[in-house]
Structure 1
Amino acid sequence: MPGSKILASAHYVPSDIVTNDDLAKIMDTSDAWIQSHTGIKTRHMSLKGENTSDLATKAAQLALDKADLAAEDIDLIIVTTFTPDGLAPSTAALVQRNLNANKAWAYDIMTACSGFIFGLSTADKFLRSGVYQHALVISAEVNSKMMDFTDRTSTVFFGDGAGAVVLTADMQGNGFLAGEDMHTIGNADVVHSGRIPPLQELSAENYPKTDAFVQMGRDVFNEVTTLIPQHIRDFLSSKSLKPSDIDYFIPHQANLRLIEYIAKDLDEPLSKFSTNIIRNGNTSSAGIAIGFDELNQSVNLTGKRVLLTGFGAGFTYGSILMQF
């Protein structure tokens, strides 16, 4: 059965580092409060005009260089983002232009923080079709542009960044994807961002407006801790596996305390969990992509099982089991 392989991965974060003390200068918070509640020490923020497509382009170019491929070799570009440059054109179309990937068609997937999971799954299916040879999956977020900097309960979590992988079709069936399980539960209340209200009347004063990012932190924590550990156990059980059979876990980088909870619930050591949230903050869909690249750079994954688990606004969640 045809499959797809990961040729290369890369990530990119903006150069500006924002500490907890920096945030404490503009809002009612402190380094001690942020670290105790989130585990975050620093985050990268795009403070020099880089938009989501810029971060995505830089991560993609780094991945292409590692794969020894030219942009013209790419047939498909998928960008997963919760913070697009705009509604149209898609952020993926802007990346296609920036890379001069003239043969590629491109589009965005918006499943919030689980985006990288959904993007990998989608690209894999296109490559399995036999119609396409190479694909780029990029998760990129500029969360900072959507934040209300008077809302300390949300804003202190988030940072900006991008991760990318280059995939290639494998008609011999030696692909990376050993299984997947994806879910959506329609819920617009717990987390939302960029809402555009409809008109109330016809008026020359009408002008589009969007709202800032909002999350009900305690509700999010309760929903994730209720659903995700059992989701992981059920998914692995369907593959005749247990959590102890997994070599590395790469969860959504929502909150270090949340990752610690999941590790404890699964009775697995935190050392098996990839964590970049301490220095990068919550980078939404990019967090898992960055985590995969960091693991890919530091460990020989041959023969290893890696579980990627995302959960995000929508409510969306899912897991991909990688076998190398």
Structure 2
Amino acid sequence: MAQGVKIVASSHYVPQDIVTNDNLATIMDTNDEWIQAHTGIKTRHVSLRGENTSDLATKAAQQALAQTSLTPAEIGLIIVTTFTPDGLAPSTSALVQKNIQAENAWAYDISTACAGFIFGLSTADKFLKAGTAKYALVISAEVNSKMMDFKDRASSVFFGDGAGAFILEASEQSLLVAEEMHTIGNAEVVHSGRIQPLHELSADNYPKTEAFHQEGRQVFSEVERLIPDHIINFLKKNDVTPSDVDYFIPHQANLRIIEMIAKKLEQPMEKFVTNVTKYGNTSSAGIAMGLDELRHNKQLAGKKVLLTGFGAGFTYGSILCQF
């Protein structure tokens, strides 16, 4: 039985179309100066050519597979983390399984919003250690744009679309040193895709789904109240200080939140991986895309990397990785 897992390959994919702050200003009352001042976001990639979440996930998975000698048939498990699925059924992961022809893989989705990659990585780790599969594909993919109400400028200016994919292998190595996850039930601060129940039997009844909405000030306050202390306490339990961590990859909520976390931890921003300025808030995909970029841009052997996700639920957690 394997003692841990290792990363075999990783990739990320974003849609072709880039939407600037000035583009958004043509359809809502906002401007580039306000958006950059409040979020740090300059651009975001948006799916405007019919690509759905499974399409982004599939392309990221195919790019990761192309870096290996593996065939799709060798993948035993596919986990897609998303809160913007193609639909309630079949799962987005099942669509990816079909698209890449991974006929031996069983697949399912995880919905923990912006903390999704943390939960997906943790779950795959357990299955691989248990010997259920030798190779697992963990994909975080979001098409946030399809869930936006573009009249709600306080929410819609933040978000972009993207996907990150990782192929993991059961190994004697132990990439995941420690983990900790939390959930605090709160349906009001952030919610998306609420499906309204019936109030009467009528031929006019038809499913109704609500757009994404967040209470921005409350989100910032919740993150400020919970996340820095969570990180400090989590690291302390594992005899690690923030200064011992080589790279932090937090959820790419917005640049101001990341700057706040860095300040609370008394760590330089140079240690924080950020892609939010160019991709926007890509929900669960942001950490996966950031880790992929870090793997391809830096030499990570011997480095400690902390992944921290937080989002709707309220759900949050961290994984400490030792490369």
2:155 paired residue number: 154
Q: How does 1:110-121 map to 2 (within 5 A)?
A: 110-121=111-122
SS of 1:275 mapped into structure 2? coil
Partner in structure 2 of residue 310 of structure 1: 309
Q: Which residue is equivalent to 1:322?
A: 321
Distance in 2 between residues matched to 1:283 and 1:260, nearest whole Å: 18
Give the 3-state SS of the residue equivalent to 1:62 in structure 2.
helix
Distance 1:31 1:185 in 2: 34
CA apart distance, 1:203: 0.7
CA distance in 2, matches of 1:209, 1:131: 39
Alignment of 1:277 onto 2:276? yes
* Corresponding position of 2:299: 300
Aligned partners of 1:154 and 1:130: how far apart in 2? 42
Percentage of matched positions with identical amino acids? 71
Aligned equivalents of 2:68, 2:128: Cα separation in 1: 17
Whether the aligned pair in 2 keeps the contact of 1:67 and 1:166 (CA below 8 Å) is no
- On the 8 A contact 1:176/1:322 being kept in 2, the answer is yes
Structure 1 residue 122 corresponds to structure 2 residue 123? yes
Find the aligned partners of 1:11 and 1:67 in 2 and give their Cα distance: 15
SS at match of 1:240: coil
Indicate conservation of the 8 Å contact 1:263/1:270, yes or no. yes
Residue identity in the other structure for 2:130: S
Q: TM-score scaled by structure 2?
A: 0.99
Give distance in 2, aligned partners of 1:156 and 1:120.
28
Supply the AA of the counterpart residue of 1:106: A
Q: Deviations over 1:233-267 (max 9, x none)?
A: 00000011100000000000001000000000000
Q: Aligned residue for 2:243?
A: 244
Query: What's the counterpart of residue 231 of structure 2?
Result: 232
Give the drift of 1:290: 0.3
The one-letter code of the counterpart of 1:317 is Y
Query: Displacement, 1:68?
Result: 2.5
Q: Deviations over 1:118-153 (max 9, x none)?
A: 000000000000231000000000000000011110
2-structure distance, mates of 1:52, 1:228: 28
1:69 Cα deviation from its structure 2 partner: 1.4
Q: Quick check: 1:57–1:98 contact (8 Å CA) kept in 2?
A: yes
Corresponding residue for residue 42 of structure 2 = 41
Corresponding residue for 2:178? 179
1:162-181: CA deviation from partner (whole Å, max 9, x where unpaired): 001000001x3x12000000
Q: 1:57 corresponds to which residue?
A: 58
Q: Which residue of 2 aligns with 1:21?
A: 22
Q: C-alpha separation between the residues in 2 aligned to 1:177 and 1:65?
A: 24
The answer for the alignment partner of 1:101 in structure 2 is 102
- Code of the aligned partner of 2:45: H
Look up the SS of the partner of 1:66 in the other structure. Answer: coil
Query: Following TM superposition, by how much is the alpha carbon of 1:105 offset from its aligned partner in structure 2, in angstroms?
Result: 0.3
Structure 2 gap ranges (5+): none
1:286 and 2:285 aligned: yes
Q: Distance in 1 between matches of 2:52 and 2:46?
A: 11
Unaligned runs of 5+ in 1: none
Letter in 2 for 1:240: D
- Deviates further, 235-244 or 61-70: 61-70
TM-score by length of 1: 0.99
For 1:303 and 1:140, the matched residues in 2 are separated by 29
Alignment of 1:194-273 (within 5 A): 194-273=193-272
Moved over 2 A (4+): none
